[in-house]
Chains A and B, each alone.
Chain A
Amino acid sequence: MSTNSVSIETTINGEKTSIDVTATERLLDVLRYRLGLTGSKEGCGEGECGACTVYLDGQPVNSCLIPAYQVRGRVVETIESIAPEQLGAFVASGATQCGACSPGVVMTAQWIVKHPHLLQSHGLRELMAGNLCRCTGYDGIIDALTETLAANGSAEEPVSGQDR
C-alpha cells in the first residue's frame, strides 16, 4: 500500500492552518480526529443526512464527501464558528431533540439566515432538504428559521411550504 500525503494550507474558522493530509482522509476526518472539531457529526457518510454540513467558501457542503486535499487554499467554517447566542429561536421552538442532526441543521439554517434573498426563488423546506432529522418532524426547525428570519426583518413569504 502506498499512500502519499500532501501538505495543504487552509483557513478553518478564521485561522490559517497547515496540515499534512493523506489521499484517504476526508475533510470530516481531519476536522474531527486531527483538529478536535467534533461538532460536525458523521451520520450516513454518503451525503444524504447533512449531519456533517460545514461551509466551504461560505457554501454548505457535506464534509463526509470532500477529500481533505481539496480544501487547500480555501475557507472552511464549522459549527464551532457559530455563536450560541444566534440559536435562541432553535432552543425555544423545539428544533432539536436527540441533537445528532443539529450541528448540520444549524449550519444550513444559518446560511439561509445570512442569504435571505434565496427565499425569492426557494422555499425553506427545499433549502433544508439535505438535513435529515428523525425526531422533530421538521416543524420545529422551520418555525425556528421563520422566527429568526422575521426577527431579522427578512421574513419573505416562503415560495412553497411543501415537504421535500
Chain B
Amino acid sequence: MTILLPGTLTDAYRMLSDDPDVTPVAGGTDLFAHWPENRVKQSTTYLDLSGLAELRSMRWTKSELVLGALTTYWDVVTDARVAAEFPNLVTAARQVGAVQIQARGTWAGNIVNASPAADGVPVLLAYDATVRLGSRDGVEDIPLDEFYLDYKKMRRRPDQLVTEIRIPRRTYQRAWFEKVGPRKSQAITKVGVAVTVAGETWRIAANSVAPTVCRCPALERYCAAVAGAKGQPLTSPSDLLPAIRSDVSPIDDIRSTAEYREQVLARILFHALNDAGV
C-alpha cells in the first residue's frame, strides 16, 4: 500500500495520469469505514487530496455557488448564506451521519462514492448542479444529471478528479428534502427525495430507489401539471404511484422493501405538496 502526497493540483494530475490505479482520498469517511477489510488490499495506491489548497474553497460568483471538491457538509451547515439561498443543502448535510462525519465528509466524495443512498446527491440534482472534472488534459463540465451511467458507474475517467461542484443561482419558490431512515442521525436512507420549484419548473430527485440517485422526470411533469392546475387535483398518495413507477426501480434489501419505498415516496410527496398548497 502506497500513499502519494501531492503538493499542488498539477502534481496530483501527473500522479493520476502516471498510474491509472490510484484511489483519491478526501475525507476518508467512505474509504476508511471498512478499513480492516480494505487494509488487506495491499496493492492500492492512495492519493491524498487533503493538502490541495486549490480544492478547498467554497465561493460565490454572480451566477453560481461553487463548492470546491474539499467542501465538507459542516462547511455548508455553518454558512448562513448557503442556508438562505440553498436551504436543501443544509437540510441534507445535517442528516448525513452526525457532526463528526459532517466535519470530514465531502460533497465530491459523496458523488464519486456513487452510493444509491447518497444524501448529498439528490439535493444537488434538484439544484441542477454540474460536476467539474479536471485532469492533465484540461477540465470538463458534466451535468450531475448525466454523470451516473449505472450502479457505481460514472463518467469519470480514472485520471480525472472532481475539482468543483457548480450550482446555478436561481430564485426558488420552494425547496425541501426528506430523508426516511431508521433514525435521524447515523442512518442509511431507506428512501429520500429532494424537490425544488422555480417558477413552473419542478425538479425532483430521489435516493435509495434505483441503482443510482436519479431525477424523476415523470413526477416532475406530473407535479408541475397539478400545480399549474392543468392536471387532475391530487386526492391521495396513490395518484402519484404511476409516475413514481415510471421513474424509479426500488428493490428489496436489508434496509427496506421495494413496496415500502414506493409507498413512502408517494406519501412524502403527497403531504409535501398538500402543505405547499398544491
**A-to-B contact residues, CB < 8 Å:** 1-4, 6, 22-24, 26, 45-48, 50, 53, 56, 59-62, 64-67, 69-70, 72-73, 108, 122, 126-127, 129-132, 162-164
B28:A70 contact, CB within 8 angstroms: yes
Selected interface stretch from B30-38, B214-222, B226-234, B262-270:
B30-38
Complex interface bits, B122-145 against A, C-beta within 8 A gives 1, otherwise 0: 000000000000000000000000
**Besides the known contacts A50-B100, A67-B46, A108-B99, 6 further A-B residue pairs in the complex with CB atoms under 8 A apart:** A3-B1, A47-B29, A66-B104, A72-B51, A129-B185, A130-B100
A45:B36 contact, CB within 8 angstroms: yes
A130-B185 contact in complex given A2-B2, A23-B46, A62-B101, C-beta closer than 8 Å: yes
User: B33, B35, B103, B185: which contacts A61 (Cβ < 8 A)?
Assistant: B103
**Residues on A with beta carbons closer than 8 Å to the beta carbon of B98:** 50, 129-131, 164
A58 CB to closest chain B CB (Å) equals 10
B50 adjacent to chain A (CB < 8 Å): yes
B186 adjacent to chain A (CB < 8 Å): yes
**Residues on A with beta carbons closer than 8 Å to the beta carbon of B170:** none
A6:B5 contact, CB within 8 angstroms: yes
Complex CA gap A47/B34 in Å reads 10
Enumerate B1-41 residues with CB–CB distance to A below 8 Å: 1-3, 5, 25, 27-29, 32-36, 39
Contacts A/B (CB < 8 Å), 28 sampled? A2-B1, A23-B2, A23-B46, A24-B39, A46-B33, A46-B34, A46-B35, A53-B100, A59-B74, A60-B100, A61-B100, A62-B29, A62-B101, A64-B35, A65-B27, A65-B29, A65-B32, A65-B35, A67-B25, A108-B99, A126-B94, A127-B99, A129-B185, A129-B186, A130-B97, A132-B186, A163-B183, A164-B185
**Residues on B with beta carbons closer than 8 Å to the beta carbon of A122:** 94
A137 CB to closest chain B CB (Å) equals 15
A126:B185 contact, CB within 8 angstroms: yes
Top 4 closest A-B pairs, CB basis?
Answer: A130-B98, A129-B185, A23-B3, A129-B98
Number of A-B contacts (CB under 8 A): 104
**Residues on B with beta carbons closer than 8 Å to the beta carbon of A108:** 99-100
User: A1, A24, A66, A162: which contacts B28 (Cβ < 8 A)?
Assistant: A66
**Residues on A with beta carbons closer than 8 Å to the beta carbon of B100:** 47, 50, 53, 60-62, 108, 130
B271 adjacent to chain A (CB < 8 Å): no
Complex CA gap A24/B31 in Å reads 12
A70:B50 contact, CB within 8 angstroms: yes
B184 adjacent to chain A (CB < 8 Å): yes
